[in-house]
């Protein structure tokens, strides 16, 4: 019976894979069992954030040294931007086999899927929605999860448009959803999130069209986390949920923050796994894995008070939101190695976002 393991490892730089290498050398991680690696890197998280590609290259080179060509199957999902006190780190998701006779599930289950490269003209449109929805279903099957309600978080790494990609599509006579490369990041995240919602039954196909992507914020998934980057043109999809077919001590729960300071639902998700804060021990708090989405509310307010995240022409609002939400969550769980991804189009309500917590039950 499979068993899920999640290792959180500090990173000194986008190419610092020494902690992962040390864990492999110590036998803590079996490289053949690595399903995915999520990373928070200290770039700007925008179109030109090459810290993500730098990290992918370093991780891929390391993995090839251990598992050869199988390294290309590992989903490498890098989220740029560690604003505020958020600490750069890796989350290594591993699938092993339970050789210790542990009680059967339900327990944390992990599945993955890759897609073919997305034609630039499909980005931010229904072609992307449908491609992601199909990949989510394949990742669920890979995890052995049959019921959508057992899925608690879906992490997607999706592409963005560059000037060269726009020109390539237009050279073939195709039109793109936008020629603004920064705006393409939001459209890609939004279309991917709607694909997740479609796959999980949160949103009906009849509700979707090109026109609603990025505009109808009443359509959202409570379990979607999408991060766009320049380093790929396909999608890497990782499903996290609970399954009777998996064993081990880890469990996952999710919540939806209604706004950037709404941490009570996150505490509730932790409580459902048997973790009560602040009475948890320091070791228990240190071991908690937190994955979250964050964005600046389009209303320009948080509970009636004005914020300036959308008015700052020097710093992208996604950077403000990441640092702000990471701080709120760090105050709850007691550490700063929190995976907060900015830009939550169709990922939770406006100004809020989905959160998943993984803990030893």
Catalytic residues: 157, 227
Q: Is 192 annotated as a binding residue?
A: no
- Angstrom distance (rounded) from CA 165 to CA 161: 6
CA dihedral 356, 37, 195, 118 (to 10 degrees): 160
Q: Is 124 annotated as a binding residue?
A: no
**What 8-state DSSP symbol labels residue 278?**
T
Q: What are phi and psi of 34, to 5 degrees?
A: -70, 120
Q: Is 27 annotated as a binding residue?
A: no
Residue 325 near residue 255, CB atoms below 8 Å: no
Q: Is 131 annotated as a binding residue?
A: no
- Angstrom distance (rounded) from CA 171 to CA 252: 46
Residue 314 near residue 192, CB atoms below 8 Å: no
- Cα-to-chain-centroid distance, residue 51: 17
Q: Is 352 annotated as a binding residue?
A: yes
Q: Is 272 annotated as a binding residue?
A: no
Q: Is 295 annotated as a binding residue?
A: yes
- Angstrom distance (rounded) from CA 24 to CA 9: 12
Q: Is 342 annotated as a binding residue?
A: yes
Q: Is 348 annotated as a binding residue?
A: yes
Q: Is 97 annotated as a binding residue?
A: no
- Angstrom distance (rounded) from CA 204 to CA 67: 41
Annotated binding site for Mg(2+): 295, 344, 347-349, 352
Annotated binding site for substrate: 52, 79-80, 189, 227-228, 322, 341-342
Annotated binding site: 52, 79-80, 189, 227-228, 295, 322, 341-342, 344, 347-349, 352
């Amino acid at each position: 019976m499979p068993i899920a393991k999640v290792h959180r490892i500090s990173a000194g730089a986008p190419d610092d894979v020494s902690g992962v290498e040390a864990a492999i050398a110590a036998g803590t991680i079996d490289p053949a069992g690595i399903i995915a690696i999520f990373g928070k890197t200290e770039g700007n998280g925008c179109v030109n954030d090459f810290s993500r590609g730098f990290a992918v290259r370093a991780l891929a080179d390391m993995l090839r040294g251990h598992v050869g060509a199988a390294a290309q199957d590992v989903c490498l999902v890098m989220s740029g931007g560690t604003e505020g006190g958020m600490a750069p780190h890796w989350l290594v998701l591993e699938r092993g086999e339970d050789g210790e006779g542990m009680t059967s599930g339900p327990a944390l289950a992990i599945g993955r899927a890759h897609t073919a490269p997305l034609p630039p003209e499909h980005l931010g449109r229904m072609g992307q929605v449908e491609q992601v929805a199909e990949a989510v279903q394949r990742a669920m099957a890979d995890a052995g999860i049959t019921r959508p309600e057992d899925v608690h978080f879906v992490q997607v790494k999706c592409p963005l448009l560059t000037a060269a990609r726009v020109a390539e599509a237009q050279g073939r006579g195709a039109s793109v959803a936008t020629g603004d490369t920064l705006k393409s990041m939001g459209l890609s995240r939004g279309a991917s999130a709607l694909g997740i919602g479609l796959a999980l039954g949160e949103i009906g196909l009849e509700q979707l069209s090109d026109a609603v992507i990025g505009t109808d914020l009443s359509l959202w998934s409570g379990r979607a986390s999408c991060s766009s980057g320049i380093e790929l043109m396909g999608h890497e999809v990782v499903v996290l949920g609970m399954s009777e077919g998996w064993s081990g001590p880890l469990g996952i729960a999710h919540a939806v923050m209604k706004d950037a300071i709404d941490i009570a639902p996150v505490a509730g998700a932790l409580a459902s796994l048997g973790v009560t804060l602040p009475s948890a021990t320091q070791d228990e708090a240190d071991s908690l894995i937190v994955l979250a989405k964050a964005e600046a509310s389009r209303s320009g307010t948080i509970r009636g008070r004005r914020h300036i995240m959308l008015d700052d022409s020097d710093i992208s609002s996604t950077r403000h939101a990441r640092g702000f939400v990471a701080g709120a969550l760090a105050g709850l769980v007691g550490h700063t190695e929190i995976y907060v991804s900015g830009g939550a189009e169709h990922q939770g309500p406006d100004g809020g976002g989905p959160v998943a917590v993984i803990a030893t039950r």
